[in-house]
């Protein structure tokens, strides 16, 4: 079951700079394709992976704390057991929102993150949602 109402989702999707945690050069991973899709929709992606690889032309960083500029959204492509720590790091760096990808759920992290004033979505694909909302907006 996805977490995050339509108003929250629209607010998050309006942000430009997205740190994608778990993004590497492995083109077989979901993060790789979703990040490319985000770029197609005008988002700046920031790869975050221990190897700090450059992906889709964007320099990578080993951690959220290493990013030397503001990040609007932290999109999380790690398993649910470690996702809560990433959400806590997003709060620490001053992100505006956290997005947990499909099948990533941590109710305690959701409570902590939203209590800290950040918008948050869990268990939803950002690329699919952006496509759906983008097409709906274009039809208006």
Q: Which long-range contacts (CB under 8 A, 24 or more apart) does 60-66 make?
A: 60/23, 60/24, 61/19, 63/89, 64/19, 64/21, 64/89, 64/90, 64/92, 64/93, 64/95, 65/89, 65/92, 65/93
pLDDT of residue 126: 92
pLDDT tens-digit readout, 5-58: 889 999 999 999 999 999 999 999 999 999 999 999 999 999 999 999 999 999
Predicted local confidence at residue 4, as pLDDT: 83
Q: What is the pLDDT of residues 60-103, one digit of tens each?
A: 999 999 999 999 999 999 999 999 999 999 999 999 999 999 99
* pLDDT at position 2: 56
Say what the pLDDT of residue 133 is: 76
Residues in the chain: 140
110 phi, psi to nearest 5 deg: -60, -45
């Amino acid at each position: 079951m996805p977490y995050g109402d339509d108003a929250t989702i629209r607010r998050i999707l309006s942000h430009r700079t997205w740190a994608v945690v778990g993004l590497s050069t492995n083109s077989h991973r979901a993060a790789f394709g979703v990040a490319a899709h985000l770029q197609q929709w005008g988002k700046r992606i920031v790869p975050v992976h221990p190897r700090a690889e450059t992906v889709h032309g964007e320099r990578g960083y080993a951690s959220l704390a290493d990013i030397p500029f503001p990040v609007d959204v932290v999109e999380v492509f790690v398993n649910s057991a470690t996702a809560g720590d990433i959400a806590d790091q997003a709060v620490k760096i001053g992100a505006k929102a956290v997005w947990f990808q499909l099948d990533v759920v941590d109710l305690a992290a959701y409570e902590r993150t939203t209590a800290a004033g950040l918008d948050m979505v869990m268990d939803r694909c950002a690329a699919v949602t952006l496509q759906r909302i983008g097409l709906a907006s274009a039809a208006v």
